[in-house]
Amino acid sequence: MQSYTHIEVQPVTPTIGALVRGVDLATVDDETWQDIFDAWMSHSVLFFRDQTMSPEQHLAFARRFGPLHVHPAAPYANGIPELMIIRTDRHSKRNNGSGWHSDVSADEEPPLGTILHLHEVPSRGGDTLWSSMYAAYDALSPRLQSFLESLTARHTSNYDGYYGDHTPQRAFPSAVHPVVRTHPVTKRKALFVNSSFTRRILELTAPESRSLLDFLLDHVQNPAFQCRFKWAPGSVAMWDNRCTQHMAIWDYHPMTRAGLRVSIKGDRPYLQSTG
């Protein structure tokens, strides 16, 4: 197992997720940042407790991983489009991220990762689940893996009415991506289809595409690929959208769950041929 000099890392499952202790995300020096980055690449999702960083410090921490992503349609805080508001309360008709997804995968260059800081949480419920798309890919037969590697899929977004009367930041994106992608840092292969955005596998007939997507979208929900996080005020989760999907459970109405989310710009997904 990898060891870290500046942080303590406790894996949540052997497959995905780790709790990181001994760090204040408001003041991360270069060596600690490197440990966090290495742990993130190893565990795909990291969790931190009792973080008091301000919105500016949250933005600054995220910027250390790259330029920031702007969500196409979500409301944002303090006049800063990169600072997405996550809020569900007694008046909400829905919660953000209730279906399995990789954030804004309909973008040509989807965000590589997301850092969510919750300030207010319900006294019970409101957990988030993540699933490892490395594990989902690895669990398939070599024959199916190699067939999937020959395919691309269209991802489409439609946020019409999703965020109430908030005016979208830009046109709703749509893009074609490989069904299996290579992670640019770890070089591992990950399944890259999700139920919120992936609509059609382009090389197949419509019924073939539907059946294969149904199989894959069911497969990625296998609990063996997952971890689950129970939030507290001040908790932070950072996830890698290139190799995970997540869903936020809304089982706490009429209680409030609120915080801020910052995403980091990513590259265009690609599959590196290994043949």
CA distance 151 to 157: 20
Contact between 97 and ligand SIN (CB under 6 A)? Answer: yes
User: Which are the contacts of 186, defined by CB distance < 8 A and separation ≥ 6?
Assistant: 41, 243
Question: Residue 194 interacts with ligand SIN (CB under 6 A)?
Answer: no
35 is catalytic: no
Per rule CB under 6 A, is residue 83 in the interface with ligand SIN? no
The type of residue at 90 is R
**Type of residue at 19:** L
**Three-state SS for 264?**
strand
* Contact residue for ligand SIN among 32, 96, 105, 132 (CB under 6 A): 96
Among 122, 261, 264, 269, binds ligand SIN (CB under 6 A): 261
248 touching ligand SIN, by CB under 6 A: yes
Residues in the interface with ligand SIN (CB under 6 A) total 8
CB of 146 to ligand SIN, least distance (A): 31
Catalytic residue flag (residue 103)? yes
Distance of CA 174 to the CA centre of its chain: 18
Point out the catalytic residue in the list 35, 58, 103, 183. 103
- Residue from 86, 121, 153, 260 touching ligand SIN (CB under 6 A): that is 86
Cα–Cα distance list, 250 to 114, 140, 255 (Å): 20, 31, 10
Nearer to ligand SIN, 122 or 178 (CB): 122
Q: Is 124 designated active site?
A: no
Catalytic residue among 71, 183, 246, 257: 246
- Residue 16 is classified by DSSP as S
Q: Where are the beta strands (DSSP E) in the chain?
A: 8-11, 18-21, 45-48, 68-69, 84-88, 113-120, 128-132, 152-156, 174-178, 180-182, 189-191, 198-201, 226-229, 236-240, 244-248, 257-264
Site for ligand SIN contains 46 (CB under 6 A) = no
The active-site residue out of 69, 101, 117, 183 is 101
Binding footprint of ligand SIN on the chain (CB under 6 A): 86, 96-97, 116, 128, 246, 248, 261
Q: Which residues are catalytically annotated?
A: 101, 103, 246, 261
